Amino acid sequence: MTPFRFALAALLIFAAPAQGADRTIYLTFDDGPLNGTSNILDVLEAEQVPATLFMVGMHAQASAANRALVQRAKQLPLVTLGNHSYSHAYNHYRHFYGDTEGVVADMVRANAVLGLKPVVHARLPGRDVFRLPSMSKNDTSLGLAQEGHEEPDYEFVAASGFYLYGWDHEWVHKDNGEPVQSVDHLVSEIDHLFGYGRFVKPGKLILLMHDEMFQDGFDGKTKLTNLIAALKLRRYAFGAIQGYDD
């Protein structure tokens, strides 16, 4: 082999994704059940990959169709149903997180609606916070505006029966729910993130998405199918949230 071809081969080896055991993606979806949840479940069932749906109790109670989606999610072996609060803080986060006992009450109410029993996999609305047996991380995006106004005791929330999960990267969406990045762009971002390796847990990326992104109007089923196919092609592994803290 010539020196040039040897160098090229080495470059391709180091540029290619590593095997799945070192590069695991955790698919997570927030805010359901909403328009788009049914498409998510269809794709997960067809592709046979694990994922976590962090659902909102208030949304689950909104209609019989939504209640049926909760039950369908619970019946799929590779799907984990998680708690994303009852009210989603009514989108008034500062007020919500100024009352830790109120946060716990809201999360417990969601447990009752969703039929979840402690210890529950959960994500707090609007907060990239981790409280797991092996580690703890606060939301570093919060600035001085929250000081003195928002001082929740996350340890108390966790001790009330919740494993709290934030995220490492987000498939961003517009106000109407439409995804911002193309699938190719998102996969490129994920490749680069694994190149840097700066995650809460080494080799493990929690991807945040929202149910409303996968509506028919945004060709959501195709987008999610294409994302999973592209990640499989790059030999990423897909992890169940139960194994994240191992």
Q: What is the residue range of 112's domain?
A: 21-243
Structural domains counted in the chain: 1
Cβ atoms 36, 214 nearer than 8 A: yes
Domain assignment present for residue 1? The answer is no
Report the CATH number at residue 148. Answer: 3.20.20.370
- Does some domain include residue 115? yes
- For residue 9, is it within any domain? no
Residue at 86 is within a domain: yes
pLDDT in tens, the chain (246 residues): 444 343 333 333 344 444 555 899 999 999 999 999 999 999 999 999 999 999 999 999 999 999 999 999 999 999 999 999 999 999 999 889 989 999 999 999 999 999 999 899 999 999 999 999 999 999 988 765 555 556 689 999 999 999 999 999 999 999 999 999 999 999 999 999 999 988 999 999 999 999 999 999 999 999 999 999 999 999 999 999 999 999
In 3D, which of 203, 188, 178, 147 has the Cα closest to residue 23? 203
> What confidence score (pLDDT) does residue 94 get?
86
Q: How high is the pLDDT of residue 197?
A: 87
Residue 8 placed within a domain: no
Are 149 and 98 in contact by the 8 Å Cβ rule? The answer is yes
**pLDDT for res 4:** 38
**pTM exceeds 0.85, yes or no:** yes
The pLDDT of residue 118 is 87
In a domain, 102, yes or no: yes
The answer to whether position 98 is within a domain reads yes
Between CA 99 and CA 85 the distance in angstroms is: 14
**Is residue 76 one of the residues assigned to a domain?**
yes
For the chain, how long is the longest CA-to-CA vector?
A: 68
Look up residue 17 and give its DSSP letter. Answer: P
Contact 194, 17 (CB under 8 A): yes
